[in-house]
Amino acid sequence: MKATSNLNARNAISTFATAALAGFIAVGILSAVAYLFQRDGKPLERLAAAERACAQHNYQSERQACMNEYLAAAKSGAVAHK
């Protein structure tokens, strides 16, 4: 009986190459998603600021109208700044 390895060099290289490719694809997907979230600024931060600015309104319709005006004013300032 011979004690030989079932893993040969070609199989180990292909396994390593596959793992490296999978890691590269995963990093690419994560960076693309992060870029898409940061491309247009921080919209949730603007929305939270609008909610705080319009908290004094009692009715939902008034609060929504106030938030729309606040966000439109902030967006026009951001566009003019660019």
pLDDT digits (tens, 9 = 90+) for 46-60: 888 899 999 998 999
Q: What is the pLDDT of residue 81?
A: 47
Q: Which residues contact 78 (CB under 8 A, 6 or more apart)?
A: 41
Cα 71 from chain centroid (whole Å): 21
Report the C-alpha gap between 56 and 37 in whole angstroms.
30
Judged against a pLDDT cut of 70, whether residue 73 lies above it is answered with yes
Judged against a pLDDT cut of 90, whether residue 64 lies above it is answered with yes
Q: Who has greater pLDDT, 10 or 28?
A: 28
Share of the chain above pLDDT 70, in %: 76
Report the C-alpha gap between 77 and 63 in whole angstroms.
21
Would you place residue 28 in the very low, low, confident or very high pLDDT band (cuts 50, 70, 90)? very high
Find the DSSP H helices in the chain. Answer: 9-39, 43-53, 60-81
Q: Which residues contact 41 (CB under 8 A, 6 or more apart)?
A: 78
Domain ranges of the chain: 1-39, 41-82
Judged against a pLDDT cut of 70, whether residue 29 lies above it is answered with yes
Judged against a pLDDT cut of 60, whether residue 33 lies above it is answered with yes
Report the C-alpha gap between 45 and 64 in whole angstroms.
16
